[in-house]
Amino acid sequence: MTLDFESHTTYGGGTSGTLLRTEPPGTPGKEHRLTKQTFLVGPSIYLRPLEMGDAATTPFWSDCPFPISADIMEERLKEGVPSDSANGTRRLIAARRSDDQPIGSLETSTEDGRTVDVTFSVPDVFGPARRSEVTAEMIRLVVPWLLNELEQMSVRIQIPLSDSVAGEAARAAGMHKAYQLREAYAVRHGERDDLVCFQALHPTWLAKLGAPIEPVFGNVAREVRGAAPGSYPRREEDPPANAFLVGRRIYLKPIEQDDAESIAKWAMRETQTAYDVGRSTRSPISYWHWNRKNYESDPPTWIRFAICLLSDGRVIGSNGLAFIDWVHKTAETETEIVQPEYRGGGYGTEAKHLLLEYAFETLSFHMVRSQAWAFNTPSCMALRKQGYRDAGRINWTGIKDGAFADDLMFDLLAQEWRAARIDAG
């Protein structure tokens, strides 16, 4: 079977006509026209939405590292596509123009409707050169479409540092490097590669707001003022019930319903307004439901703990590992101390180091990252104190005091945390 385009094709919103199937099943010699994607068409691929028939070619477009049978994928598509669409996430198939064969995909996601993140997937079976070519063509198609046609304020993509072909396509699309996470990708032969985020900003907004603040990439050699101790004396005692990790003054345990409700109620008494874009009206009902849903994922993509005092078991906050990547062994860390009297006294730092011990020693993660608002000076200072390195800046991620605000990105390698812990021992 062959497929031919009947009309001219252009990038990012041009026309492509219809696909002409010249050797269809059924009566020989009879031509059948199939309505296919008439925009987002490039020289060798075009981008289209997911279809039920794509379940039969899952390995050629899915980013799942495990084999999935077609019938199981059909069930996932029926349930997942409508749900993802409602949550601002969509996946587009990169189909080969010559025969309509899927050879990759991209996923776009947005939380606020004005900024969008894009990730790409081209299976290893196509080889590194072809994978770079397809990724680059997807970048050239999707970035102008999102920016200029869908009027996104900011478009962000993530690619490996070593993929110079895709990197050049990003720069040609007017993107700049926002952040770089060290050793975030596990590649063949035990080697690792950095992950680079490129960002494109809408030109009209640039003209209105002016040039954004440039990202800062911190030095690898840096002072760690809040290093984890080499040992915790309290570990020689029997731990409190359900404790995962025990420190000097606190311990971490799974969040139960009573813990979630307590955290939510403390959030309702919050007096500090500078940490985020406003205080949260957190319902004990929905907060427990969200935490419970995290337990149902297998493998989990978000692991959370209650932070408890060793003295009386009181819950003073929570922390966790978010957006877990089990293949590349990375995650994003998050910590929240909800009782104000325990802020600024080192409880958050101790809780963070227990979480890092769990991530690096129990789960054998290689790198963790963290994000904080650029205006949230206490959080940024705490991350640097704990050993995190400045990895870059993401522009226009939120609004504070009537102006667009940025996020700062930080990263920390397992070997750095271990070295600092030994030094502090």
pLDDT tens figures, 146-178: 999 999 999 999 999 999 999 999 999 999 999
- pLDDT averaged over every residue in the chain: 89
Kindly report the backbone phi and psi dihedral angles of residue 394, in degrees, each rounded to the nearest multiple of 5, phi listed first.
-110, 120
Regarding whether 197 and 269 lie in a shared domain, the answer is no
Global pTM reads: 0.88
Regarding whether 162 and 275 lie in a shared domain, the answer is no
Q: Is 218 inside a domain boundary?
A: no
The pLDDT of 297-315, averaged and rounded, is 95
Q: Is the pLDDT of residue 16 over 70?
A: no
The pLDDT of 319-327, averaged and rounded, is 97
What confidence tier does 2 reach under pLDDT thresholds 50, 70, 90?
A: very low
Regarding whether 247 and 153 lie in a shared domain, the answer is no
Q: Is 225 inside a domain boundary?
A: no
The pLDDT of 290-305, averaged and rounded, is 93
Determine contact, residues 157/187, Cβ cutoff 8 Å: no
Regarding whether 130 and 263 lie in a shared domain, the answer is no
Q: Is 222 inside a domain boundary?
A: no
Q: Is the pLDDT of residue 30 over 60?
A: no
Regarding whether 373 and 255 lie in a shared domain, the answer is yes
Q: Is 155 inside a domain boundary?
A: yes
Least confident of 159-163, 392-396, 398-402: 398-402
Q: Is 74 inside a domain boundary?
A: yes
Cα within 13 Å of Cα(79), Cβ side? 5
How many domains would you assign to the chain? 2
Q: Which pLDDT score is estimated for 388?
A: 96
pLDDT tens figures, 64-119: 889 999 999 999 999 999 988 888 999 999 999 999 999 999 999 999 999 999 99
pLDDT tens figures, 191-202: 999 999 999 999
Q: Is 112 inside a domain boundary?
A: yes
Q: Which pLDDT score is estimated for 259?
A: 96
Q: Which pLDDT score is estimated for 23?
A: 39
pLDDT tens figures, 220-252: 888 888 888 888 888 888 999 999 999 999 999
Regarding whether 205 and 238 lie in a shared domain, the answer is no
Regarding whether 195 and 254 lie in a shared domain, the answer is no
Q: Which pLDDT score is estimated for 276?
A: 64
What percent of the chain stands above pLDDT 90? 75
Q: Which pLDDT score is estimated for 7?
A: 34
Which CATH number does the domain housing residue 131 bear? 3.40.630.30
Q: Is the pLDDT of residue 6 over 90?
A: no
Q: Which pLDDT score is estimated for 33?
A: 38
Domain that holds residue 139: 3-209
